[in-house]
Structure 1
Amino acid sequence: MPSIDQSALERLRGVLSSNALVNLPGDPEYTNKRWARNAEKTAAIVAYPATAQDVAQIITFAQGKSPYETQSKLDLAVKGGGHAPSGASSSEGGLVIDLNPKMNNVRVDPEAKLAYVQGGALWADVDNATFPHGLASVSGVVSHTGVGGLILGGGFGWLCSQYGLVIDNLVQVTIVTSLGKILTASDSENPDLFWAVRGGGGNFGVVTEFVLKLHEQRAELWGGILMYPPTMLEKLIPEINSWLSERTPTENAHLLFTRAPTGQPVVGIQLVYNGDAEAGAKKFERFINLGPIVTNLQSIPYLELNRPVRTTWFLPGLFNLWLGLITEHPAASPSVFVLELYHPGVYSSVPKDATAYAHRTPTYNIGYLMEWTDPAWTDQSIPTVLALDKEFVKLRNTHFSPELVGEGSYLNYQDAESQKGGSSRRFGSHFPRLVEIKHQYDPENLFGKWFALPTKA
């Protein structure tokens, strides 16, 4: 583990704001906890900034630049919610900037319908601040995830069908670059940087504040989950197709391949209607009439919402991939496949080149939510998922033409490629422009943990 120069460390502590902290292993407040155990690493030093100026000083320290020349350069990671399963928010023997403890404030301007969100906030912090005003932002579907990671990767969630991705509702950011400069980026100020952070990941600096558009939101929605035996999938598919052809942006669903509380494999549908219970029951009655073995539908308070397919043959093939996974690897039996059936009308209408997020084709995301019960299986998890992904791509390409699949992909659903440089597949045709902007703002690739871009073409 690289050594921490004590004189440089004391100099850093001397210039940080009074509320900031810097901890070494063994200090009482040092922690390496992450959402995923496989992402936990032991950093040589963890810094908890309280201001953008603190972040600038910590970045300078990590690079051993003046006035910290006695400190050798450290590997740098940035943590918001710590939800990255790839380990992008951790560093073995390096320096972690942990934004969450000290930079999690959310300020709401109800008249302007804007939220000023610090980079370490969780989506629960945003919901709790906006909801008393009858407002909500487009957010993810799990409230204990960090705001920063979701936004920088694009941002799907239950409200994206009505208002677009989170990045389509982003007005401005404050960002600290590798040179320690604190910049504002918006459509009118540093527009190239603003374009890049909307879907280009954490390649360009540490975002200390996001300004988000807010939308009027009712207090309760309607929805829940239905579960069916796998034999019902054949009857379920035409009903899903029929619903997809006529549903409105207020109706959304996730199709799940999972296990029931009894342990049996099931096909689940998680339903959310942004409206009242009577209308919601009508919207989804076709699924209720199929006779699910588990029915749990009810009015859902908005604050509780986020707490924890088109062809006949594609979905059965996908189900068989999931069933094969949990059969061959019993330790991974809690794993879930989820097909996100958000209405694509609004977010796919945004011009492809408007932001760095290239994947504007009206398609649906599929996620593998891997979970395992035996710690000894951890080393097998990534190779297993990569092999699974290859089989999925074969299945997808058999049933869908390239123009239906589109280009690029969603950064927030990560794989082993997320920590490799030059992940051009993820960025599609936007890759060359992103490389140019990367070279301008982070020429030495200080921020290279999450789908790192090369600094030269």
Structure 2
Amino acid sequence: MAAEHIGRLREEATVMRIDGFRGRLITGGDADYDSARAVWNGAVDRRPRLIARCAGTADVAAAVRFARDHDLVIAVRGGGHNVAGTAVCDDGVVIDLSQMRAVSVDPADRTASVQGGALWGDVDHETQAHALATTGGIVSHTGVAGLTLGGGIGFLMRAHGLTVDNLLAAEVVTADGSILRASADDHPDLYWALRGGGGNFGVVTTFRFALHPVGPLVLAGPVFWAADHTTDVLRFYRDFAAGAPDELGTVVRLGTIPPLPAIPDELHWRPAIAVVCCYAGPIADGERAVEALRRLRTPLVDLLAPKPYTAHQSATDGTVPHGWHYYWKATDLVGLSDDAISVITDHAYRARSPRSYAVMFHMGGAVTRVPHAATPYAGRDIAHNINIDAVWLPADPEEHAAAETAWARRFFDALQPHRAGSVYVNFLDADDDAGRVREAYGDRIYRRLAEVKAKYDPDNTFRHNKNIRPG
């Protein structure tokens, strides 16, 4: 009888009105249900009972209370960009912030107020009107909320810290439907947990960020070399990155050359290694900082040039569009030893799909100067992390998808001797990474996060995520 009663309540949840809700409720009977439940990773196919598309913070609080009253699983959608697809659930309620994308900039005190459904392109568009920016993702359609709550790495982090290092305050709807402000002065334990602990502690409806002078023009772009030169490029890059000024952010990409408009047609899909740069300072200083990199061997193409920061931030959007299928494996690296470079060189180009690639981020700089205890983000002493991205098209046959997934796993396994024992939580994928959440934090930080979780979400209401259980 209890099971039947719960079943009836769940059926009623698809038609019941949410008290105090002014947004839009979407169910399976609506024409746009399929588009509303779709997320960035097209491999994720889940069917929620109800999508509560919120118009504001009060709607979020009402939706949280409704889901709890009806014993429904909650998924929280900001940008919907997480590879594991945690923004959508089966048989539950999606609290959808996608219409909450407002960004307000105060250029006098160099801060921005950003709603929880905003994308990084929204933030860059508004902040660059004042030649300001904060550390955001490297793809403009990445969601602000997910990237921030996991730590936030990007081209500006070496100069200005992680995204969480620039988070000044947050408005949060907690598991009981309360609306709290979290900052260094208000609920400081919650503020600490939000700065890297993921979506475990509530729904953040507004973020307040510190901004820094950046742009509007920056020296930025990729330099590509043929795949045959990968070992030489990585050995050079190891020393180049170690001596780079904090203003220089770099990302290494290994795969095929994407068919970007600025790249000659004859180079499209050719296996290659690229070092993508962004210098957050004067153009002339940036030219000097990258001079040795540009002289290395003979690049296939050099696209490093002064350009608008917003153009650089969105330059590769088309290489990872919504709807393609993605599978990730990732780890922090002890370093770029010759043996590690050999593993990377040996595995990077073995994918069957020309869309698959590996990407390596150079950390350091301002990231290392924040005390370890200041935030849950644990990888502050790591010089490099790597993300292996298997990518295939929705129309590809199942064996193609299986081959790409297997490639990523073999690559990851081969890196075992070079792993640092930590991982960036935002890079964790689906079921086979579920046991690695503790790895993202280490035992001490994880225990502290579990204590905060027990205070603000003792029933683990927010569990459809990289979950930290109350402790």
Q: Which range, TM-score by smaller chain?
A: 0.7 to 0.9
Q: Alignment partner for residue 63 of structure 1, among 68, 86, 92?
A: 68
Tell me, yes or no, if the aligned pair for 1:115 and 1:130 is still in contact at 8 Å.
yes
Q: Deviations over 1:384-430 (max 9, x none)?
A: 53443222223x15xxxxxxx3x642111112358737832221120
Tell me, yes or no, if the aligned pair for 2:218 and 2:282 is still in contact at 8 Å.
yes
Q: Provide the residue aligned with 1:83 in structure 2.
A: 81
1:32 aligns with 2:34: no
| 1:255-266 correspondence runs (5 A) | 255-260=252-257, 261-266=267-272
Task: Please report how far the alpha carbon of residue 431 of structure 1 lies from its aligned counterpart in structure 2 after TM superposition.
Answer: 0.8
Which 4+ residue blocks in structure 1 deviate beyond 6 angstroms?
none
Task: Please report how far the alpha carbon of residue 256 of structure 1 lies from its aligned counterpart in structure 2 after TM superposition.
Answer: 1.5
1:287 aligns with 2:293: yes
Tell me, yes or no, if the aligned pair for 2:78 and 2:118 is still in contact at 8 Å.
yes
Task: Please report how far the alpha carbon of residue 162 of structure 1 lies from its aligned counterpart in structure 2 after TM superposition.
Answer: 0.8
Output the CA distance in 1 between the equivalents of 2:440 and 2:95: 26
Output the CA distance in 1 between the equivalents of 2:440 and 2:196: 10
Q: Deviations over 1:258-284 (max 9, x none)?
A: 113443321211122234554433322
Tell me, yes or no, if the aligned pair for 2:60 and 2:173 is still in contact at 8 Å.
yes
Cα separation, partners in 2 of 1:223 and 1:423, compared to 1, 3 Å: closer
Q: Provide the residue aligned with 1:268 in structure 2.
A: 274
| 1:40-439 correspondence runs (5 A) | 40-64=45-69, 72-101=70-99, 103-260=100-257, 261-289=267-295, 290-307=297-314, 308=316, 310-324=336-350, 326=351, 330=352, 332-342=353-363, 344-373=364-393, 374-376=396-398, 377-378=400-401, 385-394=408-417, 396-397=418-419, 405=420, 408-416=422-430, 420=434, 423-428=437-442, 429-439=444-454
Tell me, yes or no, if the aligned pair for 1:253 and 1:271 is still in contact at 8 Å.
yes
Tell me, yes or no, if the aligned pair for 2:150 and 2:198 is still in contact at 8 Å.
yes
State the Cα RMSD in Å. Answer: 2.3
Output the CA distance in 1 between the equivalents of 2:87 and 2:236: 41
Cα separation, partners in 2 of 1:455 and 1:246, compared to 1, 3 Å: closer
**Structure 1 residue identity aligned to 2:27:** L
Cα separation, partners in 2 of 1:288 and 1:36, compared to 1, 3 Å: same
Tell me, yes or no, if the aligned pair for 1:2 and 1:74 is still in contact at 8 Å.
no
Output the CA distance in 1 between the equivalents of 2:291 and 2:42: 40
Secondary structure of the residue aligned to 2:348 is helix
Output the CA distance in 2 between the equivalents of 1:353 and 1:10: 45
Output the CA distance in 2 between the equivalents of 1:167 and 1:241: 27
Cα separation, partners in 2 of 1:213 and 1:74, compared to 1, 3 Å: same
Output the CA distance in 1 between the equivalents of 2:241 and 2:436: 36
Output the CA distance in 1 between the equivalents of 2:423 and 2:182: 24
Output the CA distance in 1 between the equivalents of 2:432 and 2:57: 26
Output the CA distance in 2 between the equivalents of 1:173 and 1:33: 27
Secondary structure of the residue aligned to 1:174 is strand
Q: Deviations over 1:284-310 (max 9, x none)?
A: 222222211222222221111211264
Could you tell me which runs of 5 or more consecutive residues in structure 2 were left unpaired when the two chains were aligned.
1-5, 258-266, 317-334
**Structure 2 residue identity aligned to 1:442:** D
Number of paired residues? 430
Could you tell me which runs of 5 or more consecutive residues in structure 1 were left unpaired when the two chains were aligned.
65-71, 398-404
Output the CA distance in 2 between the equivalents of 1:421 and 1:57: 32
- Give the percent of matched residue pairs that are identical in Structure 1 and Structure 2: 31
Tell me, yes or no, if the aligned pair for 2:89 and 2:464 is still in contact at 8 Å.
no
Output the CA distance in 1 between the equivalents of 2:13 and 2:340: 61
Cα separation, partners in 2 of 1:379 and 1:445, compared to 1, 3 Å: farther
Cα separation, partners in 2 of 1:128 and 1:375, compared to 1, 3 Å: farther
Output the CA distance in 2 between the equivalents of 1:386 and 1:7: 40
- Given the two structures, how large is their TM-score scaled by the length of structure 1? 0.88
Tell me, yes or no, if the aligned pair for 1:255 and 1:268 is still in contact at 8 Å.
yes
Output the CA distance in 2 between the equivalents of 1:164 and 1:83: 22
Output the CA distance in 1 between the equivalents of 2:62 and 2:455: 20
Output the CA distance in 1 between the equivalents of 2:29 and 2:407: 35
Task: Please report how far the alpha carbon of residue 139 of structure 1 lies from its aligned counterpart in structure 2 after TM superposition.
Answer: 0.9
Q: Provide the residue aligned with 2:468 in structure 1.
A: 453
Output the CA distance in 1 between the equivalents of 2:195 and 2:220: 30
Output the CA distance in 2 between the equivalents of 1:267 and 1:7: 51
Cα separation, partners in 2 of 1:418 and 1:126, compared to 1, 3 Å: farther
Task: Please report how far the alpha carbon of residue 372 of structure 1 lies from its aligned counterpart in structure 2 after TM superposition.
Answer: 1.2
**Structure 2 residue identity aligned to 1:338:** V
Task: Please report how far the alpha carbon of residue 359 of structure 1 lies from its aligned counterpart in structure 2 after TM superposition.
Answer: 1.7
Tell me, yes or no, if the aligned pair for 1:221 and 1:302 is still in contact at 8 Å.
yes
Task: Please report how far the alpha carbon of residue 54 of structure 1 lies from its aligned counterpart in structure 2 after TM superposition.
Answer: 1.1
Q: Provide the residue aligned with 2:327 in structure 1.
A: none
- Given the two structures, how large is their TM-score scaled by the length of structure 2? 0.85
Tell me, yes or no, if the aligned pair for 1:255 and 1:267 is still in contact at 8 Å.
yes
Output the CA distance in 2 between the equivalents of 1:147 and 1:174: 14
Cα separation, partners in 2 of 1:60 and 1:270, compared to 1, 3 Å: same
Cα separation, partners in 2 of 1:191 and 1:171, compared to 1, 3 Å: same
Task: Please report how far the alpha carbon of residue 119 of structure 1 lies from its aligned counterpart in structure 2 after TM superposition.
Answer: 0.5
Q: Alignment partner for residue 457 of structure 2, among 402, 422, 442?
A: 442
Deviates more, 1:276-285 or 1:38-47: 276-285
Output the CA distance in 1 between the equivalents of 2:308 and 2:290: 19
